[in-house]
Amino acid sequence: MADLMRISRPWLLSPLLRGRTPSPILFGLYRTISTTAPRPYAARRTPKKTRSLRSVGSKKDDLTALQSNMTLILPETLVAPPLSRYPREPSKFFKMLWLHVRARAQSLWAVISLKITSQPKIFTSKPLFKFRKSAAIPTAKALHIQMSEALAVGDKNTLRSICTPELYVTLAATIDSRPKGTRAEWELVRYEKKWRYPRVADRRVGYQPLHDGGMQLLKQVVVSIASVQRIARYDDTAGGRKIPGTERVRNMTEHLVLQAEVDGTTFEARPWRIWGTLSEATYESYKTEVDNIRAIMVEQSRS
């Protein structure tokens, strides 16, 4: 989906602090949503002298929803690079390999532990919790298409229903910034690299702190998708003609993050929602994240 994808996905490339000040322990666990990507079909920002009360009220409602429903990515989520992109230096190569294996072991153990915890009678009954990993890939592909099409046509209702609140606010702002009479068209041309994608890059479960001091159980999966996408924009004020130079076809590899809330009593999960995308981890970036989390945990244990 070319440039459109830069808006709809890379909101999510790094450590996130939006809308409110996090507690010290959460500060190191946030990933940020970046909204500095170029906007291929959006209007250039110009200050408006007046706004309708309805528009202002709607944006305030969106901001309130964002602040009260902030969604964090679970700590140590890893989109590991292939071995060919591991560090060349032997010591860093094996350290990255160890971090990768460790992350997979930790996430697997967390899922197993939750399954054991969800058993009505430990070791004698079936677990109530089911991750449903086999459904993650088809669900991610369907949501990826839904979000891309909804963003292109400006369907906020669909975006609100399938995205986390903070992602919805970002995409809604992108839609609002388009010039009047301009519409976009998105097409999934085909999936690429079928020998490798789509695949589950990471899955894990954990708890997310809530604004009221409570905790929300989450399951999370990262699905990597490689595809060829086409984006074009049209000017409806000129009879719906295609705007010259706006059609682009690009190869995209995206690591789509999905999250679903899990009831802590019944262990039933709500439908998956799109958190955003992540970039492929590097040795330096992932090691820094792990070290920061360890430092925070040590500090908290001493206090």
pLDDT digits (tens, 9 = 90+) for 80-95: 999 999 999 999 999 9
Least-confidence region, from 65-74, 188-197, 273-282? 65-74
Cα 197–Cα 201–Cα 205 angle in degrees, nearest 5: 145
Pair of tokens at residue 14: 């790094």
Q: Name the burial class of residue 216, with classes exposed (0-12), middle (13-18) and buried (19+) by CB atoms within 10 angstroms of its CB.
A: middle
Pair of tokens at residue 152: 């292109």
The residues pairing with 6 across neighbouring beta strands, listed in sequence order, are none
Mean pLDDT of the chain: 80
Question: Which regions of the chain does DSSP assign to beta strands (E)?
Answer: 182-191, 199-209, 215-235, 241-242, 248-262, 273-278
Q: Are 201 and 100 in contact (CB under 8 A)?
A: no
Is 28's pLDDT higher than 60? no
Residue 236 confidence class, pLDDT cut points 50, 70, 90:
confident
**Considering only CA atoms, which of 23, 256, 237, 283 is closest in space to residue 136?**
256
Is 182's pLDDT higher than 80? yes
Residue 228 confidence class, pLDDT cut points 50, 70, 90:
very high
Q: Which residues contact 182 (CB under 8 A, 6 or more apart)?
A: 41, 233, 234, 235, 236, 243
pLDDT greater at residue 140 or residue 70: 140
Output the pLDDT for position 71.
73
Over pLDDT 70: what percentage of the chain?
Answer: 77
* pTM (2 d.p.): 0.77
Q: Is 213 helix (H, G, I), strand (E, B) or coil?
A: coil
Output the pLDDT for position 56.
45
